């Protein structure tokens, strides 16, 4: 998993009715511009289709979009780039120029410099390091090229016309609310947590949301370890946790990529007395949830379709269109995506947009 996102600008966004509201997690918010659109980026067939005259999807002037993201060194990041490519392929009026994924800031800066020199119409950018990429993004904006910032925020809000974010704090809230609902008033339930990299704001935000939600039903985290968003790190952290906690009722693992290692350690230990909740929403995790043959019963989505949304928003901006489901006549400055809980009851709604760990 990548070192995703940064600190949300708001806190405490839920009230004491949070747990009661868990039932709405089965509902999917529709963000597409026309009925039946698939924004998953996982549809590899077909290409563009004709859209009704006057709709946002009707073919317009060609939009040249430069795209840059970190290297696809794990499932979530790989899906980011593939989703962007597949979404662009649905439109005859998008020319997408994809830079090679890189974890070298200097290389990514040069990629954006090339986009500026080539006078592309828009840039969709998931920066390896938001702070380091801020100056070049500001340069693009000053050149009249709108930048769509994905996932990891720049230091200066003026460096992007639109920012598309997941919700790390909301992930924790959703996971904690699920635990509260499943605990059903049992204040003696033992809750464990396997976090990501503790020094990162995104990990801190997820843990804070989890703790805040648990507090609503009188629970807290009894056992906690941190991993590193890798399979090996997840396995090592889970082994440590399972040795320290002879009994667990609920376990939240922040990330489904590292969850591959977590589940392997659980199997090796022969532990099955608890309910596990995942994070990010991989297809692998959803298939396990659907099978019912695992301790993993739920996962909280952190969308890997953010760049696909960025491609759509870039097209709307350049073609001077608005989001058709809103009254506003301009595309918003910030779009923050929801962090729903996926269970066996609603997995079919989400599995087609999930990434492969």
Flag whether 177 is in a domain.
yes
Flag whether 10 is in a domain.
no
Which residue ranges of the chain lie beneath pLDDT 70? 1-50
Flag whether 12 is in a domain.
no
Flag whether 111 is in a domain.
yes
What was the pLDDT predicted at 52?
77
State the angle between helix axes of 201-215 and 168-183 in degrees (0 to 180), rounded to the nearest 10. 30
Integer angstrom CA distances of residue 56 from 31, 60, 146, 294, 314: 13, 9, 19, 43, 12
The answer on 127 and 173 residing in a single domain is no
The answer on 314 and 239 residing in a single domain is no
The answer on 183 and 196 residing in a single domain is yes
The answer on 297 and 173 residing in a single domain is yes
Task: Look at the chain and report how many structural domains it folds into.
Answer: 2
Cα–Cα–Cα angle for 99, 104, 105, rounded to 5 degrees: 90
Flag whether 53 is in a domain.
yes
The answer on 296 and 177 residing in a single domain is yes
> Backbone phi, then psi, for 334, in 5-degree steps?
-130, 135
What span, in angstroms and rounded, lies between the C-alpha atoms of 234 and 251?
13
CATH number of the domain encompassing residue 177: 3.40.50.2300
What span, in angstroms and rounded, lies between the C-alpha atoms of 270 and 65?
50
- pTM of the predicted protein model: 0.80
162's enclosing H/E stretch is: strand 162-165
The answer on 48 and 131 residing in a single domain is yes
Flag whether 329 is in a domain.
no
The answer on 191 and 161 residing in a single domain is no
The answer on 214 and 249 residing in a single domain is yes
Flag whether 19 is in a domain.
no
The answer on 173 and 160 residing in a single domain is no
The answer on 155 and 125 residing in a single domain is yes
Integer angstrom CA distances of residue 182 from 26, 106, 312: 15, 47, 38
What was the pLDDT predicted at 9?
38
- Which structural domain, as residue segments, surrounds residue 222? 168-301
What was the pLDDT predicted at 104?
97
What was the pLDDT predicted at 113?
98
Dihedral in degrees, nearest 10, Cα atoms 332, 1, 105, 117: -50
What was the pLDDT predicted at 12?
41
What was the pLDDT predicted at 128?
93
> How do beta strands 296-301 and 341-342 pair?
antiparallel
The answer on 261 and 314 residing in a single domain is no
The answer on 317 and 254 residing in a single domain is no
Flag whether 227 is in a domain.
yes
């Amino acid at each position: 998993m990548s070192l995703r996102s940064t600190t949300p600008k708001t806190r405490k966004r839920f009230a004491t009715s949070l747990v009661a509201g868990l039932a709405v997690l089965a509902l999917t918010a529709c963000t597409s511009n026309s009925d039946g659109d698939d924004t998953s980026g996982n549809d590899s067939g077909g290409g563009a289709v004709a859209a009704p005259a006057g709709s946002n999807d009707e073919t317009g002037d060609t939009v040249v979009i430069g795209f840059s993201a970190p290297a696809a060194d794990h499932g979530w990041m790989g899906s980011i780039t593939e989703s962007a490519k597949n979404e662009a392929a649905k439109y005859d009026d998008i020319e997408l120029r994809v830079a090679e994924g890189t974890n070298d800031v200097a290389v990514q800066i040069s990629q954006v410099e090339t986009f500026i020199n080539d006078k592309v119409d828009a840039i969709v950018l998931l920066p390896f390091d938001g702070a380091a990429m801020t100056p070049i993004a500001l340069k693009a904006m000053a050149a009249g090229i709108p930048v769509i910032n994905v996932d990891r925020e720049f230091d200066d809000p003026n460096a992007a016309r639109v920012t598309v974010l997941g919700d790390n704090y909301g992930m924790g809230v959703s996971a904690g609310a699920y635990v509260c609902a499943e605990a059903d008033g049992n204040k003696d339930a033992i809750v464990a947590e396997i976090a990501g990299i503790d020094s990162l704001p995104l990990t801190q935000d997820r843990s804070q949301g989890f703790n805040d939600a648990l507090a609503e039903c009188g629970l807290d985290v009894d056992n906690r370890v941190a991993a590193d968003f890798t399979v090996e790190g997840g396995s090592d952290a889970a082994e440590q946790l399972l040795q320290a906690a002879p009994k667990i009722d609920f376990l939240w693992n922040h990330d489904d990529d590292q969850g591959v290692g977590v589940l392997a350690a659980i199997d090796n230990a022969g532990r099955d007395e608890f309910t596990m909740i995942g994070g990010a929403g991989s297809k692998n995790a959803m298939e396990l949830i659907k099978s019912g043959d695992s301790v993993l019963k739920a996962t909280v989505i952190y969308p890997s379709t953010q760049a696909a949304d960025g491609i759509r928003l870039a097209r709307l901006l350049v073609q001077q269109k608005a989001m058709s489901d809103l009254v506003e006549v301009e595309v918003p400055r910030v779009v923050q995506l929801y962090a729903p809980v996926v269970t066996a009851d609603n997995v079919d709604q989400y599995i087609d947009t999930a990434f492969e760990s």
